[in-house]
Amino acid sequence: MKNKYQQTKAALRTELESTRKTFHALLDSMTETDLSKRSRSPGWTNGEILAHMTFGFIILNALLPLARLWGRFPEWTSKIFAWILNAFTIPFNWVNALGARLQARVFTYRRIGAVYDRAYVSLINQIESIKDEEWERGMYYPTRWDSNFNDFMTVHELFYYPIRHFNFHLGQIAQ
């Protein structure tokens, strides 16, 4: 019989795989020219949106070790950290937008699928590395940076961040 966390891992793998299939179906439906077209999000191209969506999976690979570490400390310590990050929302938004534009130049049509898949495989490996006692540990996040962050997120909840982020931006792709 599977324990709660084996079920958690299986559910996460299923959700991540479903999102990966959606990503590749979307990418396969587009041409290189489609990536340079304006998206439904003002000021962004489809390629910039796809790069930004992919980065949501990449960044989780950095956020997970932070959550696993911070989850060992009293919760209030990460609340201070989140408050400081929220104070820098305006510069973050500027860097975030610039980052997506630069990522779209690096994550070209020929590369973005492979970049996404590497991030996906890394997350699957991360799922397997989480110990049972770590799933409910967590930390506070800068909710002004991204509406897909909850105020406090456990390691378990954090795995759903890139999926929500992906789905949020999915409707912004223009075809």
pLDDT in tens, 3-27: 888 999 999 999 999 999 999 999 9
Residue 100 has pLDDT above 80, yes or no: no
76 occurs within a structural domain: yes
- To the nearest whole number, what is the mean pLDDT of the chain? 91
Tell me what percent of the residues of the chain surpass a pLDDT of 70.
99
Task: Look at residue 110 in the predicted model and tell me its pLDDT.
Answer: 84
User: Residue 5, class by beta-carbon neighbours within 10 Å (0-12 exposed, 13-18 middle, 19+ buried)?
Assistant: middle
Distance CA 117, CA 20 (A): 8
| Burial letters 61-81, b for 16+ CB under 10 A, else e | eebbeebbebbeeeeeebeeb
Cβ(42)–Cβ(104) under 8 Å?
Answer: no
Asked if residue 53 belongs to a domain, the reply is yes
Residue with tokens 């980065």: 55
Kindly state whether residue 175 falls inside one of the protein's structural domains.
no
Domain residue limits at 125: 4-170
pLDDT of the residue at 119 = 96
d(CA 9, CA 7): 5
Q: What is the pLDDT of residue 13?
A: 96
Is residue 149 situated within a structural domain?
yes
**CB contact at 8 A, 170 and 53:** yes
pLDDT band at 140 (very low <50, low <70, confident <90, very high): very high
Residue 175 amino acid letter: Q
Is the pLDDT confidence value at 2 over 80?
no
What average pLDDT does the segment 17-43 reach?
94
The strand pair at 138-140 and 152-154 is best described as: antiparallel
Burial 110-138 (b: 16+ CB within 10 A, else e): eebbebbeebbeebeebbeebeeebbebb
pLDDT at residue 98 greater than cutoff 80: no
Residue 106: band (very low, low, confident or very high) from pLDDT cuts 50, 70, 90: confident
pLDDT digits (tens, 9 = 90+) for 43-88: 899 999 999 999 999 999 988 999 999 999 998 999 998 999 889 8
Is a pLDDT exceeding 60 seen at residue 136? Answer: yes
Please count the structural domains in the chain. Answer: 1
**For the domain that residue 68 is a member of, what is the CATH number?**
1.20.120.450
